Structure 1
């Protein structure tokens, strides 16, 4: 009977080792391919400087560009955090960037710095995360109008977002922010 128990224990240990190997392998696929942690130093630096949650930034970049530096939207938004040329000009003036040119929106460090700064700037007018993300996507003036419409907003809170694209965008960013938070919380433990 003891031989049978030893064989059973060896089989159980082998199963656990195979399961652990599979989880590590599949975890690496999640980390490296599906939800990459690119530009970590830059994101952490500017998120800290401007008081923005880095996981929100990862979720936003993943939603906006999937970490493609040359991404451009049909509306003309550019780079990792999909900043429009008009918003880029506005941010560059606020950050007192002397030699700013539109093409700089494709430079990861500049795009990330500007995007994180803009999230921080939007937080002054939109302290609720979902409303701030709606403003990032649809524009702050449009969202202010929504907040003033008592049928869809009150104060700082949007009870419903009238644009399906913006509503879906906010949900996707928050979902991806949560995935990043879970994946990389556990990765730091390993």
Structure 2
């Protein structure tokens, strides 16, 4: 019986270590700070960062999105103006504190127009104007809800982020965000 309990404990611990490496809580202090400041679920932020960059601060997409939360230079300029960041430069998108602050702020900003999480994530990925067009197209959306996402890339993106958010929520259920 003792050996069985010892084996179960070992498997549980090694599983948590493995999943902790696959789904890390990097930049925890920054994510908690800005998630609280802007009223965004930290688990959603972890799922989004994991999907966007796998926590690689110097990540850059083929579309030119930069940093942890993959913010495009144009969106970075927009956010910097809204946050009144007078010393903002595009290269700052690689700085974790700046990128996380801007990305979480942008999620909060998008929530004003897109209160449904999946629709907000679609807007984060495909752009708010495109998603507004989808919502006005009765074949794919109505009101605040997208019944289907016309772009396969965006549809897969929303599924990946929400799936990873769920994994973070399960693995770190004990966190008091």
Q: State the TM-score, normalized to the length of structure 2.
A: 0.98
Deviation per CA, 1:29-77: give whole Å up to 9, x if none. Answer: 101x100000001000000000000000000000000000000000000
124, 140, 146: which one pairs with 2:134?
Answer: 146
143, 148, 168: which one pairs with 1:160?
Answer: 148
1:13 deviates by 1.1
Structure 2 counterpart of 1:52: 40
Give structure 1 regions of 4+ aligned residues with deviation exceeding 6 angstroms.
none
2:99 is aligned with 1:117? no
Counterpart CA distance in 1 for 2:15 and 2:135 is: 43
1:15 deviates by 1.4
Provide the aligned C-alpha RMSD in A. Answer: 1.0
Q: State the TM-score, normalized to the length of structure 1.
A: 0.91
Counterpart CA distance in 2 for 1:48 and 1:183 is: 20
Structure 1 counterpart of 2:16: 27
Q: Which runs of 5+ in 1 are unaligned?
A: 1-11
2, 13, 26: which one pairs with 2:2?
Answer: 13
Q: Which runs of 5+ in 2 are unaligned?
A: none
SS for the counterpart of 1:90 is helix
Structure number with bigger Rg: 1
Q: Which has the higher contact order (CA 8 A, sep 6+)?
A: 2
SS for the counterpart of 1:113 is helix
SS for the counterpart of 1:185 is coil
SS for the counterpart of 2:32 is helix
